[in-house]
Amino acid sequence: MFSGSIPALVTPFRDGSFAEEEFRALVDWQIEQGSSGLVPCGTTGESSTLSNAEHHRVIEVCIEQAAGRVPVIAGCGSNDTTNALLHLNFSKKCGAAAGLVVAPYYNRPNQQGIYAHFETLTKENDLPLVLYNVPARTVTDILPDTVAELSKLPTVAAIKDASGEIDRVTDHRLACAKDFCLLSGVDELSLAFNASGGAGCISVTANVAPKLCAEFQAACQAGDYEKARELNDILYPVHKAMFSDASPGPIKYALSRVIADFPTELRLPMTPPSESSKKAVDAALEGAGLI
């Protein structure tokens, strides 16, 4: 259903408020540079610090600005099933192609609870769902057997897998329907992920290197792994630098180096990246020819 380079967009702020003009420009730039989809209000978009009204406005603006040029996978995750459904209902009304729904965090449900969370969403809303598994952030882990069962639900279309376990690509590919879409959630593992059967990446790095990331994904999908490795070698230091401090601090700083006057504001408890992180970002961007 989805493929290629799909940036998990940052949410720019100015003076504490959503910087809509800068966000619209970012959406246009991403599409012009070859991104094949967009994800507003994911983890990189600081969704956990957005009010529901802000969350919905960011989704609305992204869909409006994309204007059908690429699909928008709206971040709809919550640790509260009722609130996740609220986001899904709004996203469907706005014209999102799908909802990205993270495993419920903080509550620490067991596998039965995780299944019930997603099953309830599919019963109440027919918008396609992209499961998002990121155990390092949520503590919960959508295990492969649970993914296989969830994939049988009529609207569960894909998974963004940020477990960091490459063997799960094969687990999912063998256990799920052939049209179940496998997307990486870890940039630096995308080469191995795609070689194992993945279709693309919901990416942090693509915020700042959309063209390179799109070219890398296109090479993978064409089976040209020699070219893919060459591009991966260029991108790899950028991938690592984006997590040289707490995300999304480094990626917002990187964007300010590539796009003049791009705001770097973060919302507490996130704070600006360290000087050593900034140096790592600068070196990686320069090495990739981005600055």
Residues tagged active-site: 132, 160
CA distance 253 to 208: 10
Task: Tell me the β-bridge partners of 184.
Answer: 161, 201
Q: What is the CB-side half-sphere exposure of residue 118 using CA atoms within 13 A?
A: 33
Which residue in 47, 24, 63, 28 sits closest to 102, CA to CA?
47
* Alpha-carbon gap, residue 100 to 127, rounded angstroms: 10
User: What sign has the CA pseudo-torsion 19, 20, 26, 29?
Assistant: negative
CA-wise closest residue to 43 among 125, 126, 160: 160
- Tell me the two tokens of residue 148: 């296989």
Sheet holding 73-75, edge to edge: 4-7, 200-203, 181-184, 156-161, 129-133, 98-102, 73-75
- Between CA 17 and CA 24, with CA 20 as vertex, the angle to 5 degrees is 155
CA distances from 206 to 36, 136, 236 (A): 11, 21, 12
Residue with tokens 């705001």: 263
